[in-house]
Amino acid sequence: MGPHAASRPLTLSEQADELEEKMMNELNDKIATKSALFAMADGSLGYVGGAELQARNPGKYFLMGADPRLPKMPDKPTLIDFFKHRFVSMNHLLQSATLALKAGHEEKVVLACLLHDVGVAGFIRCDHGYWGAQLIEPYVDEEVSWAVRVHQALRFFPDESAGYKYPDMYLKYFGPDYQPEPYIVDEYKRARSHKYYMTARLICVNDIYSFDPDAKVNLDDFVDIIGRNFKQPKEGLGFDNTPSSHMWRTLMWPTRFL
């Protein structure tokens, strides 16, 4: 039993205190901070400044590194480590890549399918194609990152000749009247005449949510393709000074104060 071993039930504020205490213990007495964007996800612009946060947690310093509530990352993390310890919807990515592999597509296409939703899997939904492409851009062939970027737009536009129709899922998710915004329409128009159009289109063709509920998908099946097509930096992702290193670090340490 905790500090409240009395027979009466805990009041709400005692429960909150206990939860906070438990959280602090797990955080090794550091204060984890929610960024403005995390609060906005709860519909709030309620920013709490550093001084006030520390006043609420007397004697504690802010977390400036790994959040011990999250799985531990190695010192020199690889893409595989992010798949295992940070990406929350790995199965969808593995299913898409498995489909592409079975269809006999070249490795660039398989990798593009494997990475197409890393934006959603590890970062943010809004404009996930753009975020995902930016994240991987320094490490993959430009064809792969280009395709990841524009698959977001192409998903809204059918191409029957390539075997892609407007997804039933989108009708269900967004309603029959949903129209993509002009920037998505423009992206689609630019993509149509681009030399890598088919690569992005193949992401859409393989972008389905379940092809066989019993199908076994395994990250191990893609380790070699990743090894040949994703330039893993020797310093580890996040520590290699590329234009997206900071994004990998943020994925690693999402609750650092700065």
Judge contact between 201 and 164, C-beta under 8 A: yes
Angle at 105 between CA 189 and CA 245, to 5 degrees: 70
* Least spacing, CB of residue 208 vs Fe ion, in Å: 8
Instruction: Please state the separation of Cα 55 from the chain's center in Å.
Output: 33
Q: Is 193 helix (H, G, I), strand (E, B) or coil?
A: coil
Nearer to Fe ion, 73 or 205 (CB): 205
* Least spacing, CB of residue 193 vs Fe ion, in Å: 22
* Stretch near Fe ion under the rule CB under 5 A, chosen from 112-120, 142-150, 214-222, 237-245: 112-120
Q: Report the distance separating Cα 36 and Cα 17, nearest Å.
A: 24
* Least spacing, CB of residue 225 vs Fe ion, in Å: 18
Nearer to Fe ion, 67 or 117 (CB): 117
Minimal CA–CA distance to 237: which of 32, 84, 62? 84
Q: Report the distance separating Cα 250 and Cα 122, nearest Å.
A: 10
Nearer to Fe ion, 63 or 154 (CB): 154
**Per-residue contact string for residues 60-89; x = within reach of Fe ion by CB under 5 A:** ------------------------------
Nearer to Fe ion, 117 or 187 (CB): 117
Amino acid at site 29: D
**DSSP letters along 43-85, please?**
T------HHHHHHHSTT-EEP-S--TTSPPPPSS--HHHHHHH
Q: Give the total of residues touching Fe ion (CB under 5 A).
A: 2
Residues 198-237 that bind Fe ion (CB under 5 A): 207
Nearer to Fe ion, 187 or 207 (CB): 207
Nearer to Fe ion, 107 or 207 (CB): 207
| 107 lines the binding site for Fe ion (CB under 5 A) | no
Binds Fe ion (CB under 5 A): choice among 97, 117, 134, 188: 117
Minimal CA–CA distance to 123: which of 135, 112, 114? 135
Residues of the shown chain interacting with Fe ion in the complex, contacts defined by CB under 5 A: 117, 207
